[in-house]
Amino acid sequence: MTDQAASAATGAIESRSETLLHIEDIRKYFKVRSHAGTSRAEVKAVDGVTLDVRRGETLGLVGETGCGKSTLARCMARLYDLTSGKVVFEDHDISRTSRRGLRPVRRQMQMIFQDPYGSLNPRRRVGSIIGDPFAIHQIGDRKDRKGKVQELMQLVGLNPEHYNRFPNEFSGGQRQRIGVARALALQPRLIVCDEPVSALDVSIQAQVLNLLTDLQQEFGLTYVFITHDLSVVRHVSDRIAVMYLGKVVEVARTDDIFSTTRHPYTKALLSALPVPDPDAADSRERIVLTGDMPSPINPPPACRFHTRCPKAQEICSREEPPLVPVLGDDGSHLTACHFPLEVGETLRPGTVAQREGG
Amino acid sequence: MSMGSSDVRFDEDVAKEVEVGASPVEGRSPWLLAWQRLRHDRVAMISLGVIVLIALVAIFAPVFTHITGHPPNQQYLRQGTTSAGLPLSPNGKFWLGTDNLGRDILVRIAFGARISLAVGVVATLLTVAIGVVVGLAAGFFRGIVDTILARLVDVVLSVPFILVAVALVSIAGPGLTMTVLVIGFFSWASVARIVRGQVLSIREREYVEAARSLGASNFRIMFIDILPNVLAQVIVYTTLLIPVVIVTQATLSFLGLGLQPPTADWGGMLAESQTYYTVAWWFVAFPGIALLITTLAFNLFGDGVRDAFDPRAGR
């Protein structure tokens, strides 16, 4: 992990092979039919996202509920067909590959899901769930598989003797370990974790996170780690991408995101992070954004954030800011804002964005 | 704490761990749990006993012939009817009396149980098989497949059953196969509807998405991931469908559309008793009671199965 960060720091130029997954201008619109009938609206869940995932790193994807993180993850894993855009995995363009054609890719790219209760089939034994990848890709015979499944269970800290049990006989944390074991079975390169710990108790979150970190070191895994929990993402990520309403507004190394926050939305998001010291908590600036997140069916034009942004000016509603390095940042820190924050600048809670008398 | 699992990291929920550690390593499947609940349902278990008893009667129907010495279709016109030619009431020789042709009602009920159970089970299985396949396909593929199948279901459900049954039988002729096919053809639609609804919700579950992310084929997802989760509902519906099918079969026979005389069959016996019930109550009562007990047992058992699979639903 650390040498990855170091190599990222050497500059903007990165070799192609260092990128494991590259997505370019991905869009995913969902059609919604209104109850009235004829009018056809589209939810623009992901609306033009370009990102690189580098080999061996953990890329954190943060944003509010409904900002399109999970949709983006499913687009990356090609569980969804894209509306437009490109997904390049290991230098292979898989944006239009058929389900059958994706099968070899599935061995390289796995997912861990948010809900440890929903992601395991309640009618199947744990051994059979973890062995699913072997069965689907026809690896080994029955006896081989059993051995492998038990190895995997051991690896993620489950009792291998429990392989005959059913998911309902395990606790939330144990179930998430089952999900991890299943994702690991085929020794993938990339694991997309869709809020893997947000359904767990805090004490168990740490255990699962540590497990994920250990496994990353052991197997050289690459993670895309989706969460709305900033303290979690800070703990695990090498780089962080911040999403708002289907777009990435800022990408940077984890330290940079926290030390030189550029985008006003990121700033507001980070200010919500709890501080363990009550005195510090009292004195720090907390930015409470006014208004709700606009509907992704009809997002604001140009910069999506201008309706709630304290720094918004006329240009923000007219011209969309590109995702580029701000002057003084290195090439790994990209921001999409016309008026990026200076280091140390504080945000005044919105005069522009405030709604009726608030 | 569990002693045997020393190399396993201590896990979260301590209470859970104790509970897990104390129970055997062999997992308790949802099916097993349902069965354990069912076993404690006294009404359901008594019903199951009755069903087994009826099945035994059906299987060992020839034993009744052996004991009484009366084959089911043997007409005892002299000893089995009164001097006026009317059915004989229950007596030492004919325990449940005789019918208008002097046949032993007890033996005929025993042989009739074979027909009722066989048709009940076979026609129900046919119904469920068609319904599950159609429902799975409609719910899983959605879109055009769903539209076509859903319209088909609507058509089948809107056809007047008895009228078409009469028409079909008059074309193809009555018989056991015909009865099964007619019942199967007209009952699958409701099963398909139930299965479709279930599949629609299950296909959105995360474990289906997980299977897809592993590269599972549609076929595998349908039959390995989705079907077992629909099965509980299907089993409940099946046990409740059997009595309906038995009554339907009796109805068809009653109307002369099922099995033809002299085959012993409860619906047919009830039909024959129509003109005699004022003078021979046993002629109508015993086949009727046999039908009632059978359907009641299946219904009560079906209720028990439903409660066992969904304990939260209550009564």
Q: What is the CATH number of the domain that holds A148?
A: 3.40.50.300
Q: Which of A94, A150, A165, A182 to mutate to test the interface with B (most CBs of B within 10 A)?
A: A165
Question: Which positions in chain B touch A161 (Cβ < 8 Å)?
Answer: 4-5, 25
Looking at residue B306, what is its pLDDT? Answer: 84
- Residue A334 and residue A250: Cα distance in Å, rounded? 6
Q: From the CA of A4, how many Å to the nearest CA of chain B? A: 27
Mutating which of B18, B25, B206 best tests the A interface, going by the most A Cβ atoms within 10 A?
B206
Tokens describing residue A267: 């700033």
3-class SS letters over B249-286: HHHHHHCCCCCCCCCCCHHHHHHHHCCCCCCCHHHHHH
Give the closest of B11, B213, B225 to A77, CB-based: B213
Average the pLDDT over A1-10 and give the result: 44
Q: CB–CB of A110 and B214 under 8 A?
A: yes
Half-sphere exposure in the Cβ direction for B193 (13 Å, CA)? 11
Contact of A126 with A166, CB cutoff 8 Å: yes
Q: Which domain holds residue B237?
A: 40-313
**Contact between chains at A115 and B206 (C-beta distance less than 8 A):** yes
Cβ within 8 Å, pair B214-A125: no
Q: What is the reported pLDDT for B268?
A: 83
When pLDDT is averaged across residues B174-186 and rounded to a whole number, the result is 85
Kindly report the three-state secondary structure assignment for every residue of B197-216: HHHHHHCCCHHHHHHHHCCC
Average pLDDT over residues B263-280: 82
Give the one of A106, A125, A171 whose C-beta lies nearest to B12's C-beta.
A171
3-state DSSP helix/strand/coil percent for chain B, to nearest 5?
70, 0, 30
Predicted confidence at residue A44, as pLDDT, reads 87
pLDDT tens sequence across B6-53:
444 444 444 344 444 444 466 677 788 888 888 888 898 999 999 999
For residue A171, give the nearest of B4, B16, B213 by CB distance.
B16
Instruction: Examine the pLDDT at B140 and tell me if it is beyond 70.
Output: yes
Q: Are A309 and A316 in contact (CB under 8 A)?
A: yes
* Cβ–Cβ gap A126/B30 under 8 Å: no
Contacts of A98 in chain B (CB under 8 A): none
Minimal Cβ distance to B28: which of A113, A159, A169: A169
- Total of domains in chain B: 1
pLDDT tens digits, one per residue of A277-289: 777 666 666 677 7
Residue B129 has which token pair? 């098989």
pLDDT exceeds 50 at position A8: no
Structure tokens given for A126? 């744990």
DSSP sequence for A208-224? HHHHHHHHHHHHT-EEE
Lowest mean pLDDT among A70-79, A270-279, B301-310: A270-279
Greater pLDDT, A38 or B265: B265
> Cα–Cα distance between A158 and A126 in angstroms, integer?
11
- Residue B225 gets which letter from DSSP? I
Stretch (H or E) spanning A40: strand A40-54
* B12 domain-assigned: no
- Residue B159's pLDDT band, with cuts at 50, 70 and 90, is confident
Is the pLDDT reported for residue A7 higher than 70?
Answer: no
pLDDT of A235 > 90? The answer is no
| Averaged pLDDT, A312-320 | 85
Residue in A103, A106, A161 nearest the CB of B25: A161
Question: In this complex, do B210 and A79 lie within 8 Å of one another by their Cβ atoms?
Answer: no
Tokens 């969902």 identify what position? A30
B214 touches chain A (CB under 8 A): yes
Rounded Cα distance, A22 and A76, in Å: 9
Q: What was the pLDDT predicted at A1?
A: 43
What is the tens place of the pLDDT at every residue in A138-149?
888 888 888 899
Distance of alpha carbon B211 from alpha carbon B168, whole angstroms: 45
Two structure tokens written together for B240: 């409740």
Residue numbers in B near A174 (CB within 8 A): 11-12
Contact between A110 and B13 using a beta-carbon 8 Å cutoff: no
Inspect the interface and report whether the beta carbons of B213 and A169 lie closer than 8 Å: no
pLDDT at A215: 92
- Contacts with B214 from chain A: Cβ below 8 Å: 106, 110, 132-133, 136, 182
Count of pairs with CB atoms under 8 A, one residue in A, one in B: 108
In whole angstroms, give the CA distance from residue A170 to residue A178: 9
The C-alpha of A103 sits at a distance from chain B's nearest C-alpha, in angstroms, of 5
The answer to the question of residue A193 being in a domain is yes
Give the model's pLDDT for residue B272. 82
A102/B215 touch (CB, cutoff 8 Å), yes or no = yes
**Span A227-239, mean pLDDT?**
88
Chain A interface includes B29 (CB < 8 A): yes
User: B312 CA to chain A: closest CA distance, Å?
Assistant: 16
Query: What is the C-alpha to C-alpha distance for residues A322 and A218, in angstroms, rounded to an integer?
Result: 38
Cα separations (Å) of A299 from A27, A28, A30, A44, A319? 14, 14, 14, 8, 14
- In angstroms, what is the C-alpha Rg of chain B? 25
Residue A332 belongs to a domain: no
Q: Would B32 be classed as within a structural domain?
A: no
Note the maximum CA span of chain A.
70
> In B, which residues are within 8 Å of A154 by CB distance?
7
- Whether residue B132 has pLDDT greater than 90: yes
CATH of the domain at B232: 1.10.3720.10
Please tell me the predicted confidence (pLDDT) of residue A36. Answer: 58
Which is nearest to B206 in space by CA: A176, A114, A174?
A114
CA–CA distance, B155 with B172 (Å, rounded to integer): 22
Chain B contact set for A157 (CB, 8 A): 8-9, 11
Write out pLDDT tens, residues A64-101.
888 888 899 889 988 888 899 999 998 889 888 888 88
Q: How far apart, in whole angstroms, are the C-alpha atoms of residue B311 and residue B187?
A: 27
Q: 3-class DSSP state for residue B65? A: helix
Q: What residue of A is the nearest CA neighbor of B228?
A: A123
Partners of residue B212 in chain A, C-beta under 8 Å: 79
Query: Alpha-carbon distance A230 to B29, whole Å?
Result: 39
Is residue B83 less than 8 Å (CB to CB) from chain A? no
From A137's Cα to the closest Cα of chain B, the distance in A is: 8
What proportion of chain B, given as a percentage, has pLDDT over 70?
90
Residue A345 lies in a domain: no
Establish if B313 touches chain A: CB-CB under 8 angstroms. Answer: no
Of A103-112, A119-128, A229-238, B170-179, the range with the lowest mean pLDDT is B170-179
What is the pLDDT, as a whole number, of residue B14?
40
Q: Return the residue of A nearest to B12 by Cα.
A: A204
Mutation for testing the B interface, residue in A123, A145, A208 having most B CBs under 10 Å: A123
Q: Cα(B196)–Cα(B148) distance, rounded to whole angstroms?
A: 13
Neighbours of A143 (CB within 10 A): 8
Q: How far is B134 from chain A (nearest CA, A)?
A: 22
Is A9 a residue whose pLDDT tops 70?
A: no
Specify if B145 maps to a domain.
Answer: yes
Task: Say which range, A30-44, A117-131, A150-164, B219-233, has the weakest mean pLDDT.
Answer: A30-44
pLDDT at B22: 43
Residue A267 included in any domain: no
* Record: contact A106-B4, CB cut-off 8 A: no
Give the total number of structural domains in chain A: 1
Of B9, B207, B213, nearest to A118 by CB-CB distance is B207
Quote the pLDDT of residue B126.
92
Output the average pLDDT for chain A.
83
Res A11: pLDDT: 41
Query: In this complex, do B27 and A126 lie within 8 Å of one another by their Cβ atoms?
Result: yes
Is B29 within 8 Å of A133 when comparing Cβ atoms?
no
Q: Convert the pLDDT of each residue in A211-231 to its tens digit.
A: 999 999 999 999 999 988 888
What local confidence, expressed as pLDDT, does residue B177 receive?
84
pLDDT at residue number A285: 66
Do residue A207 and residue B229 have CB atoms under 8 angstroms apart?
no
Task: Suggest the residue from A121, A155, A204 to mutate for an interface test with chain B (most B CBs closer than 10 A).
Answer: A121
Higher pLDDT, residue A5 or B172: B172
Length of chain A: 358
Average pLDDT, integer, range B288-309:
89
Answer yes or no: is A222 within a domain. Answer: yes
Which of B7, B26, B214 is the closest to A164 by Cβ? B26
